[in-house]
Amino acid sequence: MAPTAMNDDDSRASSYPYSSGNSFPSTHESSSTPTAGSSSRIHSPDDNDEIDLLGATPQEHGYHPDDDHVLLDDPLGHDLTEPLSFKRKQKQGFFSQPSRLLTALTGGGGSTGRRAANAHASNNSPYSPDHTAPSTRLEGIRHHPKDPPPLDWYVEGPGRRVGYEDLTAIDWIFEYTKERQRQRVLQGSSTGLVGYIRQSLDATQVWVILVLTGIAVGTLAAGIDVTTDWLADLKGGYCSNLDGGAFYLSRGFCCFGYDEFSKCRGWIHWSDALGITSAGGRWFIEYFFFLIFAVMFAISASVLVKEYSIHAKHSGIPEIKTVLGGYIIRRFLGVWTLITKSLGLVLAVASGMWLGKEGPLVHVACCCANLFIKLFPDIKNNEARKREVLSAAAASGISVAFGSPIGGVLFSLEQLSYYFPDKTMWQSFVCAMTAAVVLQAFDPFRSGKLVLYQVKYSSGWHNFELVPFILLGFLGGIYGGLFTKANMKVARWKKSVSWLPGPIIQVVAVALLTALVNYPNDYMRAQCSELVSNLFAECSTLLDDQFGLCKTGAASAGTIVLLILGSVLGFFLAAITFGLQIPAGIILPSMAIGALSGRAVGIIMEIWQTSHPDSILFLSCEQDVACVIPGTYAIIGAAAALAGVTRMTVSIVVIMFELTGALTYVLPIMIAVMISKWVGDAFTRRGIYESWIHFNEYPFLDNNNSDEMLIPDISSSQIMTRIEDLVVLTATGHTIASLTAILETHPYRGFPVVSDPRDAILLGYISRAELAYNLHTSTQPPRSLPPETEAFFAHQPLADPRSTLDLRPWMDQTPLTLPSRSALHLTVSYFQKLGLRYVLFVDKGVLQGLLTKKDVWYVLNGADETRRSGRDDTSGGGGESRGGGIGVIRDPNGTGENAGLLGSGRVLAGMNNGSTDDLNSPEADASSIL
pLDDT in tens, 775-825: 999 999 988 999 999 999 998 888 888 899 999 988 988 899 999 999 999
Band of pLDDT at residue 459, cut at 50, 70 and 90: confident
Domain annotation covers residue 632: yes
What local confidence, expressed as pLDDT, does residue 423 receive? Answer: 87
- Considering the domain architecture, whether residues 681 and 723 belong to the same structural domain is answered as no
Domain annotation covers residue 381: yes
**SS3 of residue 907 by DSSP:** coil
* Residues 253-266: tens digit of each pLDDT: 888 777 777 778 88
What is the rounded average pLDDT of the residues 526-531? 89
- Considering the domain architecture, whether residues 581 and 606 belong to the same structural domain is answered as yes
Secondary element (H or E) of residue 763: strand 762-767
Domain annotation covers residue 70: no
- Considering the domain architecture, whether residues 522 and 556 belong to the same structural domain is answered as yes
Nearest partner of 758 among 21, 10, 6, judged by Cα: 21
Give the CA distances from residue 47 to residues 42, 416, 804, in Å, rounded to whole numbers and listed in that order: 10, 45, 10
Q: Which amino acid is at 62?
A: G
What is the rounded average pLDDT of the residues 603-626? 86
What local confidence, expressed as pLDDT, does residue 418 receive? Answer: 80
Band of pLDDT at residue 53, cut at 50, 70 and 90: very low
Euclidean distance between CA atoms 152 and 166, whole angstroms: 30
Euclidean distance between CA atoms 76 and 178, whole angstroms: 10
- Considering the domain architecture, whether residues 492 and 641 belong to the same structural domain is answered as yes
- Considering the domain architecture, whether residues 127 and 228 belong to the same structural domain is answered as no
DSSP 8-state code for residue 730:
E
What local confidence, expressed as pLDDT, does residue 303 receive? Answer: 96
Euclidean distance between CA atoms 603 and 609, whole angstroms: 10
- Considering the domain architecture, whether residues 650 and 713 belong to the same structural domain is answered as no
Domain count, the chain: 4
Flag whether pLDDT at 21 surpasses 90: no
- Considering the domain architecture, whether residues 647 and 777 belong to the same structural domain is answered as no
Euclidean distance between CA atoms 730 and 740, whole angstroms: 15
Nearest partner of 401 among 353, 456, 345, judged by Cα: 345
Domain annotation covers residue 373: yes
* Residues 367-381: tens digit of each pLDDT: 999 999 999 999 999
- Considering the domain architecture, whether residues 411 and 383 belong to the same structural domain is answered as yes
Domain annotation covers residue 925: no
Euclidean distance between CA atoms 563 and 683, whole angstroms: 25
Flag whether pLDDT at 298 surpasses 60: yes
- For the entire predicted model, the pTM comes to 0.77
Angle, helices 358-373 vs 383-402, to 10°: value is 140
Cβ burial 317-343 (10 Å sphere, 16+ → b, else e): bbbbbbbbbbbbbbbbbbeebbbbbbb
> Which range has the worst mean pLDDT, 441-450, 667-676, 739-748?
441-450
What local confidence, expressed as pLDDT, does residue 708 receive? Answer: 60
Point out the domain boundary residue: 665, 696, 727: 696
Point out the domain boundary residue: 159, 192, 221: 159
What local confidence, expressed as pLDDT, does residue 190 receive? Answer: 76
Neighbours of 664 (CB within 10 A): 12
Q: Are 889 and 724 in contact (CB under 8 A)?
A: no
What local confidence, expressed as pLDDT, does residue 159 receive? Answer: 61
What is the domain extent for residue 691?
A: 463-696
Domain annotation covers residue 200: no
- Considering the domain architecture, whether residues 429 and 289 belong to the same structural domain is answered as yes
Strand boundaries in 144-261, DSSP class E: 237-239
What local confidence, expressed as pLDDT, does residue 7 receive? Answer: 40
Q: What is the 3-state secondary structure (H, E, C) of 536-578?
A: HCCCCCCCCCCCCCCCCHHHHHHHHHHHHHHHHHHHHHHHHHC
Euclidean distance between CA atoms 272 and 665, whole angstroms: 45
Euclidean distance between CA atoms 665 and 603, whole angstroms: 18
> Which range has the worst mean pLDDT, 164-168, 389-393, 418-422, 705-709?
705-709
- Considering the domain architecture, whether residues 289 and 404 belong to the same structural domain is answered as yes
What is the rounded average pLDDT of the residues 101-106? 44
How many percent of the chain have pLDDT more than 90? 46
Point out the domain boundary residue: 696, 717, 737: 696
- Considering the domain architecture, whether residues 271 and 305 belong to the same structural domain is answered as yes
What local confidence, expressed as pLDDT, does residue 705 receive? Answer: 64
What local confidence, expressed as pLDDT, does residue 94 receive? Answer: 42
Question: Which residues make Cβ contacts (< 8 Å) with residue 647, sequence separation at least 6?
Answer: 480, 677, 680, 681, 686, 687, 690
**Which of 118-122, 556-560, 660-664 has maximum average pLDDT?**
556-560
Q: Tell me: cis bond preceding 782? Omega within 30 of 0 counts.
A: yes
- Considering the domain architecture, whether residues 860 and 830 belong to the same structural domain is answered as yes
Nearest partner of 223 among 372, 345, 337, 314, judged by Cα: 345
Angle, helices 335-350 vs 358-373, to 10°: value is 160
What is the rounded average pLDDT of the residues 356-372? 95
What is the rounded average pLDDT of the residues 731-749? 92
Flag whether pLDDT at 521 surpasses 70: yes
Q: Are 41 and 32 in contact (CB under 8 A)?
A: yes
- CATH code for the domain in which residue 230 is found: 1.10.3080.10
Average pLDDT value for the chain: 78
What is the rounded average pLDDT of the residues 658-683? 91
Flag whether pLDDT at 491 surpasses 80: yes
Euclidean distance between CA atoms 459 and 281, whole angstroms: 45
What is the rounded average pLDDT of the residues 60-70? 42
What local confidence, expressed as pLDDT, does residue 154 receive? Answer: 43
Nearest partner of 177 among 808, 816, 793, 839, judged by Cα: 816
* Strand 750-754 to 762-767 pairing: antiparallel
Euclidean distance between CA atoms 535 and 634, whole angstroms: 6
Band of pLDDT at residue 704, cut at 50, 70 and 90: low
Flag whether pLDDT at 18 surpasses 70: no
* Residues 550-561: tens digit of each pLDDT: 877 666 888 999
Q: What is the 3-state secondary structure (H, E, C) of 80-145?
A: CCCCCCCCCCCCCCCCCCHHHHHHHHHCCCHHHHHHHHHHHHHHCCCCCCCCCCCCCCCCCCCCCC
What is the rounded average pLDDT of the residues 440-467? 83
What local confidence, expressed as pLDDT, does residue 283 receive? Answer: 92
Domain annotation covers residue 361: yes
Flag whether pLDDT at 149 surpasses 50: no
Selected residue with higher pLDDT from 862 and 65:
862
Give the CA distances from residue 217 to residues 124, 436, 439, 599, in Å, rounded to whole numbers and listed in that order: 47, 9, 8, 33
Flag whether pLDDT at 319 surpasses 50: yes
What local confidence, expressed as pLDDT, does residue 32 receive? Answer: 36
What local confidence, expressed as pLDDT, does residue 617 receive? Answer: 85
DSSP 8-state code for residue 721:
E
Selected residue with higher pLDDT from 604 and 622:
604
Selected residue with higher pLDDT from 128 and 344:
344
Euclidean distance between CA atoms 593 and 572, whole angstroms: 11
Flag whether pLDDT at 479 surpasses 80: yes
Domain annotation covers residue 877: yes
- CATH code for the domain in which residue 896 is found: 3.10.580.10
